[in-house]
Structure 1
Amino acid sequence: MHPTYDVCRFLPFNFALHDNAHALISRQQRVGMLGKLDASRTSNGDAGSSSTAIKGRASPSCPDQNQPIINTTTTTMEKVSASFRKTVKGMGNPKALLHPSEWKIPPQPGALSNSMRWSNHDLDPIEPRRRVWTKKDFIFYWMSDQFITPVWLIGSTLAGLGFTMREAIPLTFFGFLLTGCVLYLNGFVGAYYRTPFPVYARTSWGYYGAYFPIVCRTILALFWLAILTYQCGVIVEQMLIAIWPSFRHFPNHFPESAGVTSAGLIGIMVYWAIQTPISLIPVHKLKYFFLLKTIISPITFIAMGIWGLSQAPTGPLIDGPVRMTSMSKGLAVCTGLNAVNSLWATFSVNVSDFSRFSKENKFQWWQGLVFAVSGTVPVICAMATANACEVVYGSTVFAPNDVLALWGNRGAVFFCGFGWLIASVAGNISANAISFATDFTALFPTYFNIRRACLAGGVISILMCPWKIVANATQFVNFLGAYGCYMGPIAGVMIADFWIVRKKVLDIREVYNASPSGAYWFDYGVNWRAVVAFFIGWGPNIPDFAHAINSTGVKSTNPYTYSLSWIFGLVVSLVAYTIISKFFPPTKSLSYSEVHVDDVLQYDEDGNVMQTEHGIIDGVDMQSSGSMDKEAAIVNAKLANA
């Protein structure tokens, strides 16, 4: 039996059964691969030259440049064959998989970190082959992210605060525009230095200090992944009822205390079975799914909005009056603005997880404007639809599944439900599944990559029984809804450090240098300036944060600062970090000049990593190893990046 490719091509758990990861292909295939590489090199006119390289600004020359890298001698192939037989033998032993060492991620080409404890291939800078997101792709991505259920429900929040649709439009646009500015500032780092959020966070928080924002983001992403999976499963239930009306009377085998019905659980599991495999697609290839959503979801949202306006061109949610809350108009404006800002408070911190796939070496400012426009449209459609439901059916409902339940046209319910299904899957994957997976990978890079973590997150999200969380853990849901007050200070620290203190200058080698002598190690792995600035921005809102979780046991003391908690925390922490760094500058890290990833890595003609600055490929020292190790590293680099 000869496995055709590396197991990681097909399974989220790419088993590293032996240290020789390159032994996961057959002898015949390795001969063929080596022969193709040798033939390609010969066809270029010089059998002894190395593969054509796409060099960066100051890429070092490849060692052993005048020597043939491929050497298919009998001794070499005997070593490969023996290693392969050893691997197959190991795969046939189920007990081997129970040992933790067998689950470790194999070293990948281009790793800049000096330890697998801190990084793996999914945390490394993105090589040219995966820099495929163009301006058009980012437009599709922002539209894809904004046409989702949580943005739709912003209309419900604003209506509850007493705003009509005409008043909600400028408030929503301005709120998303502010968030778009923060997305640009934090997204620039990913596009320019090609690093994900967990790695970027180390430059401002330190290697150990970065665990705080990473863990915060991980917990939020996991719980919202679970909760939105449950909420979107209800939409699937409505679709199943539209196809088979008898499904509405599906017998329930759960007690009322379970928080879910049998039919509801079926809808959740159907949704989960669709969402989880899609989340395993490599991130740079998800742009095609986001394109599909950009076509389907806006049509669904706008069609429902047009239906609402055609049924009720006027009404309380459009012209007023809307029942006001007990709070003043000014406080209502602050609360509504904060609701819009906080919706993307987490993503504004980890946007570099996606911006690093940008084809260009920069992140365009105009994307913030696209973000604001594409976010305002769903709110308009939501309020128009809810207004029609109140006028026509006498019931003000905002939740998509509640709206679909009021309709009698089965075809309309199914097709609108399908649009919502695509919207929910894409939104939950981009905002929660990938974010959780990237952060979880940073916590355990030796054992998890993004694909493994996506699968783990999908399984955990169901095991958490999110229907129980929504039904019984009201205070915990309130805690999740109040995350803007501490995500704002985290974003403020990162923006101040990169744009003001460092003036956009990072040394990519030091970013991955996890040693006490590294530039971004700071004091014992923690940048105390970031910690102090965070608490200065978060501290004033702690009482109201506690009040939001337990309104009966804790008094509200700073309603206006908490009503603008995201903006307040971001601005105060940004200013505090800047002032602290002015008087107590991180002198060591500021002494380094800019070093870009393309100054350190060398690439082949396909944009794959071929060589690092220190001559290390796939954990093999190219300057001192024999031809067997060299050819194995080259072939495994090709396979790993395929």
Structure 2
Amino acid sequence: MDDAQLEKYRSRGYSDDLLPKTEEKRTWGTFNYFTLWMGSVHNVPNYVAVGGFLILGLSTVSIMAAIVVSAFIIAAVMVLNGAAGSKYGVPFAMILRASYGVRGALFPGILRGCVAAIMWFGLQCYAGSLAFLILIGKIWPGFLEIGGGVSILGITIPGLIAFLIFWAVNVAIGFGGGGVLNKFTAILNPCIYIVFGGMAIWAIYLAGFGNIVHYVPANVQTGGNSLFLFLVVINAVVAVWAAPAVSASDFTQNAKSFKAQATGQTFGLAVAYVLFAVASVCILAGASIHYGTETWNVLDIVQKWDSLFASIFAVLVILMTTISTNATGNIIPAGYQIAAIFPKKLTYKHGVMIASIISVLICPWKLMENQASIYLFLDIIGGILGPVIGVMLAHYFIIMKRNINLDSLYTEPGQFSYYKNGFNSLAFVVTIVAVIVSLSGKFIPVLEPVSRLSWFVGVIVAFGAYAFFASLHRKKNPSFYEDTTEKLETEVNI
């Protein structure tokens, strides 16, 4: 990427945040990617999810194995969908244009980078603020009495103060982007090993490893095919990564090479999930055995500890993992996507600020009053984003043969390269069909097993269908694909 080409894209109205990264700016090596996702693995919602796995009827060893297998599937998707980013140094918001078109990319991009990311950013900030409130209460009990129980928009004054402080820290990390996030995770990761590794050792010591291995919850479900339930656990773990996997290029655009991001992400996720698999099951099962009551929330466990120092340190690390998750999965993708909607007027930092303000205005504490509607919304978002991943992978690897013409992404204002009117109708038809198939079980009871594997079904159906039909188009229009660096300027309607 030379300066002349960058200047050409700037002249078309694109801010530097959206431009391809030059070699000197692509500084992330293997270790940066090794540490990137650790906090996103070890967070409160993931531990609560493992509590749900324990009541499915699978053995604790099977659950650990399913989680480890999930790690390699997640790594494969993150590496492959981030391949274009590491090759061209381009963020997700622009890469998405290759498969959906300049106009067509707006809908899945807004859905992932704005709607899902902003809503989940607010919810994560509020969930983290509850832990922060616990921490403040242990140090300064009188803080919890401020305002005498008066509520503002459904939240107490201490709760609002804790939320705004924690929100501000998350926003600050978001403003710093990937560079600040990497420094943050370098500090966080050793603490994760200390806290969650220590909690696992504590649980094994109190409950006994043999008892943990043979632990069966009181309300465990009976019946069901063990292999199918094993796949259900894998689907649940992988589906959490539907949004980060779609926007993997937001981070791989900084990679020194494909090998650096591939090696770093694979080993980082593998190590993180092996620790998580052992620690989560041992902590939850061991604490349940020790306290004589089923406990699925690590915050509940930490609150019961006698040591004030240990409790405070553990809550601090849990807060840091929430911040890391929020940055990688929500605020950074939202910042890039909002900037891409109005590339002439907005920068990445503008996007972060807009997303952050909206996340407060939606009053996330009110949204959490009805968890059923939240999870339905997130299920639908995940069911849509799985097929988007399938289309993106098929387009880049099967149809484009890993060759993207950047001029077709950074178009002149009002011009649309190689998809008629900037809209790839085939990508949308395939996405819609795959979404319907993957979520069909929510509306047709007999297809309920399909929805329990919704992420896999969505990705596979979308990948297969798009690769097949786009390949047919390629056979009918071979000249269009002969030289992607020159022919893609032609308008076509696939």
Tell me the TM-score normalized by structure 1.
0.70
The match for 2:48 is 153
Amino acid at match of 1:590: Y
**1:439 aligned to 2:341?**
no
| C-alpha distance in structure 2 between counterparts of 1:519 and 1:463, whole Å | 37
SS in 2 for 1:126: coil
Is 1:498 aligned with 2:406?
A: no
Against the structure 1 CA distance between its residues 356 and 204, is the aligned structure 2 distance closer, same or farther, given a 3 Å change threshold?
Answer: same
Question: SS of the residue aligned with 2:296?
Answer: coil
1:320 positional shift: 2.5
State the match for 2:135 in structure 1: 239
CA 1:357–1:588 in structure 2 vs 1: closer, same or farther (change >3 Å)? farther
Which amino acid in 2 is paired with 1:449?
T
Give the Cα–Cα distance (whole angstroms) in 1 for the partners of residues 371 and 59 of structure 2: 31
Equivalent pair of 2:57/2:222 in contact (CA under 8 Å)? no
Bigger Rg, structure 1 or 2: 1
Q: Could you tell me how far apart the structure 1 residues matched to 2:157 and 2:434 are?
A: 46
User: 2:446 aligns to what SS in structure 1?
Assistant: coil
- Report the secondary structure of 1:471's partner residue: coil
Q: Which residue of 2 aligns with 1:105?
A: none
- Report the equivalent of 2:491: none
> Which is further off, 203-212 or 510-519?
510-519
In structure 2, what is the Cα distance between the partners aligned to 1:232 and 1:488?
27
| Corresponding residue number in structure 2 for 1:342 | 239
Which runs of structure 1 show a deviation greater than 6 angstroms over 4 or more consecutive aligned residues?
none
Q: In structure 2, what residue type is equivalent to 1:371?
A: L
Is the Cα–Cα contact under 8 Å of residues 506 and 592 in structure 1 kept in the other structure? no
Q: List gaps (5 residues or longer) in structure 2.
A: 487-494
Larger mean Cα displacement after TM superposition, 348-357 or 153-162: 153-162
1:590 to 2:481 alignment: yes
Q: How does 1:448-597 map to 2 (within 5 A)?
A: 448-472=346-370, 474-514=372-412, 519-520=417-418, 522-544=419-441, 547=442, 554-585=443-474, 590-594=481-485
Shift of 1:572: 1.0
Alpha-carbon distance, 1:508 to partner: 1.8
Q: Structure 2: which amino acid aligns with 1:388?
A: G
Deviation at 1:527, TM superposition (A): 0.9
Return the alpha-carbon distance in structure 1 between the equivalents of residues 370 and 153 of structure 2.
Answer: 10
Shift, 1:157, TM fit: 2.6
Name which of structure 1's ranges 346-355 and 406-415 shifts more when overlaid on structure 2: 406-415
Contact between 2:181 and 2:327, CA under 8 Å: does it hold in 1? no
**Amino acid aligned to 1:579:** F
1:28 paired residue number: none
**Is 2:109 the counterpart of 1:214?**
yes
Cα pair 2:200 2:282 within 8 Å, conserved: yes
Question: Per-residue displacement from partner, 1:457-507 (whole Å, max 9, x unpaired)?
Answer: 222212211111011363233221443322111000000000011110112
Q: Residue 283 of structure 1 aligns with which residue?
A: 178
Contact 1:300–1:416 (8 Å) recurs in 2: yes
**Conserved 8 A contact 2:33-2:268:** no
Establish whether residue 204 from structure 1 lines up as the match of residue 104 from structure 2.
no
User: What is the CA-CA distance between 1:248 and the residue it aligns to?
Assistant: 5.2
2:230 corresponds in structure 1 to 333
User: What stretches of structure 1 of length at least 5 have no aligned partner?
Assistant: 1-55, 63-107, 548-553, 596-642
Equivalent in the alignment of 2:124: 228
1:312-323 paired onto structure 2 within 5 Å: 312-314=207-209, 318-322=213-217, 323=219
Distance in 2, Cα, partners of 1:226 & 1:420:
17
CA contact (8 A) 1:540 1:558 kept: no
Greater shift in the superposed pair: 576-585 or 306-315: 306-315
**Inter-partner Cα distance in structure 2 for 1:517 and 1:592:** 21
Distance 1:445 1:517, change over 3 A: closer
> Matches of residues 20-31 of structure 1 in structure 2 within 5 Å?
none
Residues 415 and 516 of structure 1: is their aligned pair in 2 closer, same or farther, counting only changes over 3 Å?
Answer: closer
Q: 1:307 to 1:517 in 2, by over 3 A?
A: same
1:195 aligns to 2:90 (yes or no) = yes
Change (3 A) 1:114 1:273: closer
* Counterpart-to-counterpart distance in 2, 1:250 and 1:422: 26
How many angstroms apart in 2 are the aligned matches of 1:149 and 1:444? 35
Query: Measured at CA, do residues 129 and 397 of structure 1 come closer, stay the same or move farther in structure 2, by a change above 3 Å?
Result: same
- The Cα of 1:219 is off from its aligned counterpart by 0.9
CA contact (8 A) 1:176 1:375 kept: yes
Taking the aligned partners of 2:207 and 2:7, their CA distance within structure 1 comes to 60
Deviation at 1:150, TM superposition (A): 3.1
Does 2:135 align with 1:135?
Answer: no
Higher helix content, 1 or 2: 2
Q: Tell me how far apart the structure 1 counterparts of residues 371 and 310 of structure 2 sit (CA, whole Å).
A: 34
Provide the aligned C-alpha RMSD in A.
2.6
Q: In 2 relative to 1, CA 510–362 (structure 1 residues): closer, same or farther, beyond 3 Å?
A: farther
Cα distance, 1:517 vs. partner? 6.7
C-alpha distance 422-476 of structure 1, shift in aligned 2 (>3 A): closer
Aligned partners of 1:429, 1:372: CA distance in 2, in Å? Answer: 21
Mapping of residues 4-403 of structure 1, within 5 Å: 110=7, 112=9, 115-116=12-13, 119-217=14-112, 218-247=114-143, 252-254=148-150, 260-314=155-209, 318-322=213-217, 323-325=219-221, 328-330=224-226, 331-360=228-257, 362=259, 364-366=261-263, 367-403=265-301
Look up the equivalent residue of 1:337 and give its one-letter code.
I
Tell me the distance in 2 between the aligned counterparts of 1:557 and 1:210: 34
Alpha-carbon distance between aligned partners in 2 of 1:588 and 1:400, rounded to the nearest angstrom: 58
Identical-residue share of aligned pairs (%): 23
> Post-superposition shift, 1:529?
1.6
Question: Contact 2:117/2:331 (CA < 8 Å) preserved in 1?
Answer: yes
Count, aligned residues: 480
C-alpha distance 559-204 of structure 1, shift in aligned 2 (>3 A): same
Q: Give the TM-score normalised by the residue count of structure 2.
A: 0.89
Question: Does 1:407 pair with 2:296?
Answer: no
Is 2:20–2:89's contact at 8 Å kept on the other side of the alignment?
yes
